[in-house]
Amino acid sequence: MASSYSPECDPLLKEGIEFFRSKFDCDPTLCAFAPGRVNLIGEHTDYNDGFVLPFALPYRTYLIGSRAVNTTETKIHSKSQEPSVATFEINSNLSMGEPQWADYIKGTIFQYLPEIEAGFAFNAVAVTSVPLGGGLSSSAALEVATATFLEGLLGEKASSVSKVTKALRCQKAEHDFANTPCGIMDQYISAMGSKGNLLLIDCRTNTFESIPFGISASSPMILITNSMVKHKLSGSEYPDRVKQCKEAVKAAQSNFPSVKALRDVTEEMFKTFNDELSDIVYRRAKHAIGEDQRTLAAVTALKAGDYQRVGELMTQSHNSLQVDYEVSCDELDLLVKLALAVPGVYGSRMTGGGFGGCTVTLVDREAIELLEQTLYENYFKQTSKKCVFYRTEPAEGAGFFEFDILSEDMKAPPPPLKPITSPIVTDVPSETYRIPGADSRAPSSSTRPAWIDWVVPVSVMVLVGAVTYLKLRK
């Protein structure tokens, strides 16, 4: 399904078009995009059949390319990953390998083999503004962008694939090709996101309810803060927690046979069997059960415009993730603590899988600059790290468009990108962040007088001519 999203002003897309031309010496025919996501509340509940409340971010992964001609080899270049090139043939022999980032693409393609004819191949480039390793679901964005790209190339052959089916296929791709037993949330919101709305997703039924988020002068803002840390893990932390939750379910079933997942366990039910659990399994279950209740309560508060209550529930969520689920870290805890001390902040919590990444904070619009200033200065003072901010609001989910609908300006090569000089920048477009306290009136290279561009070269030519003339006279 083609998207209503307008790409005309996105410099990243223009960069991607030129990147494709430089690699394949031709113009692309199709572009698919899929956003990253942030979860306002409802963490580590999706694989427990619970509830989550995410929204799609205005940061996207683009897959830009076209069908390959006279070859069965698919080739993809990444702008942000190393090794940067992946080549493979599309068939039932697709498997994990190097480069690892391509496993997300290959895993997604594998799910579409029923719709793909023999010999199908394509050339593409991948560019993204979703921060990598920040807990904003860059992997799901790549999977959903790949699925959407395939749907655009396959046309009618893939027209029966619904958005929910697409999300489920991408989830299976991550299970099978990345060995990550993730829930459905990340792929679901990337595929199903709706501008201006959060989605309350029921991870058992795969249904959702759109929850409007006020976007006006009186409504609060959502600030994402990237801690710029990602602690090295053993690889078992995520599967261990899935296993521990399943242990709690088995204990619940011995008392309540109708229980299928922790989502079915009420707090009153939990009290009747929690002494049968080990301390660690007890705390994992306590978080999952309580988090579902907090998420549903947050939806009720949002509908009532009670942002104070939403903030309280977010902070409670963080405390539970820190103490009971043990997926936070010192840097995230510090960012939350600093944020809660700022007047105008309703609540703050870590978001994503944990062990680094980002926090999400609900804050009054008039307090946003004070919040950024406080976090930036104090976080640097205590950690020697420079955090990055993303002011955000709910954006549209995945889609695709054909390049023949774009303007001539979009088809033209983009201007050279200016070097990034901000000390807090990592891998996001320069317009998505700013240094707190910086003077927005400061002149930049883009405001220099136009005559400089011709006076300097003309002056050089005159000088060279004069030197040559004097030599000839001698």
What is residue 197's three-state secondary structure? strand
Residue 44: its H or E element: none
Task: Return d(Cα 277, Cα 255) in angstroms, integer.
Answer: 13
First-residue to last-residue Cα distance in the chain: 75
Residue 194 per-residue DSSP state: B
Provide the token pair at 250. 């088995």
Residue with tokens 């749907």: 151
Distances in Å between the Cα of 135 and the Cα atoms of 183, 291, 296, 343, 359 are 14, 19, 23, 26, 9
Q: Which of 112, 107, 221 is nearest to 173 (CA)?
A: 107
Dihedral sign, Cα of residue 415, residue 420, residue 422, residue 428: positive
Known catalytic residue at 186: yes
Q: How far apart are CA 325 and CA 372, in angstroms?
A: 28
Token readout for 127 is: 């560019």
Identify the helix (H) or strand (E) that includes residue 347.
strand 345-351
Cα–Cα distance measured from residue 46 to residue 279, given in angstroms and rounded to the nearest whole number: 22
The one catalytic residue in 46, 103, 186, 264 is: 186
Q: Which residues pair with 226 in a beta bridge?
A: 358, 388
**Sign (positive or negative) of CA dihedral 421, 424, 429, 433:** negative
What tokens appear for 105 in the block?
A: 């693409």
Residues noted as catalytic: 186
